[in-house]
Structure 1
Amino acid sequence: MAERWQDIWETIPADAVSEQFITASGPGGQNVNKVATAAQLRINVFRLELAPPVYARLKSLGSAYLTNSGEMVITAKRHRTQAANRLDARERFVSLLQKARTLPAKRKKSRLNRVGKTKRLQGKKIRSAVKKSRGRVRPE
């Protein structure tokens, strides 16, 4: 069973996370100019103490959010309230973390049967003959 995002959020150290609210464009009408409703979540990725493969996957998945100092900055401004934007930012980070923790599926080698192999070789012979016929014209 999949873990709830709140349970995963509880495992993140408090000193690795900082939140602040900023003014944002988007829904809110005239209120958008007065109230800081967008949530900006900063997570120090090094403080999470992730395993190297998980860190590498998180780095590739969230490269747009990662700074040079190892902080992941997620800005949420979809909603009109601070609380909703805070939850949105947290959910987005936890979903990135969950994707990074899951192992990618191993690729299985494809296998051709005997009929498929002979068809492929026959096609190669036909293609080879076509290309050979495109050679230089020899004067007779």
Structure 2
Amino acid sequence: MKPLQVLPGEVHCTAIRAQGAGGQNVNKVSNAVHLRYDIHASSLPDEVKERLLALPDHRITRDGVVVIKAQESRSLEANREHALARLQTMIDQAASVPTLRKPTRATAGSQRRRLAGKNLRGQVKALRGRVGRDAD
């Protein structure tokens, strides 16, 4: 299966002012990026959309919109690339189909060993009882 690519027309990037330290420059330059990606309106396959919506991720809103904020770099373009890379990672995670676990049974030998260990432990605990006086 080839990796799914995010189409540029489906992503909406908005330049916003970054938070944190930066002096006077941070107050006048919008270098952070708000990336919005509507899952329902995307061209992803339906099963990938369902798995993406089912992810326990705080960046996915109730309306099915992924909101990613990137402000690591001082460059607007670098922040945009960083946000797109995080979105792509998220989609790749949803595109991989989880393997189903095949339930297996414990072997007879492992059951015997487990029960023998329990029996031994019970004997050790039984020896911890009160020591009674012998009737003379």
TM over 0.5: yes
Question: What is the aligned residue count?
Answer: 133
State the secondary structure of the residue aligned to 2:40. Answer: helix
Deviation of 1:130 after TM superposition, in Å, equals 6.3
Cα 1:57–1:128 shift into 2, 3 Å: farther
Distance 1:126 1:53 in 2: 51
Indicate which of 27, 30, 35 corresponds to 1:36: 30
TM norm structure 2: 0.75
1:102-122 deviation digits (Å, cap 9, x = unpaired)? 011332445544432210121
Which of these residues, 5, 10, 15, is aligned with residue 8 of structure 1? 5
Change (3 A) 1:134 1:45: farther
| Separation (CA, whole Å) in 2 of partners of 1:132 and 1:55 | 58
Counterpart code for 1:8: Q
Q: CA deviation at 1:72?
A: 1.1
Q: Distance in 1 between matches of 2:126 and 2:77?
A: 71
- Give secondary structure in 2 for the equivalent of 1:65: coil
For 1:85 and 1:129, the matched residues in 2 are separated by 65
Moved >6 Å (runs of 4+):
130-135
Distance in 2 (CA, whole Å) between partners of 1:29 and 1:124 is 67
The answer (yes or no) to whether the contact 2:53–2:64 under 8 Å persists in 1 is: no
TM-score, normalised on structure 1?
0.73
Structure 2, unmatched stretches of 5+, are 130-136
Corresponding residue SS for 2:85: helix
Give unpaired runs (5+ residues) of structure 1: 136-140
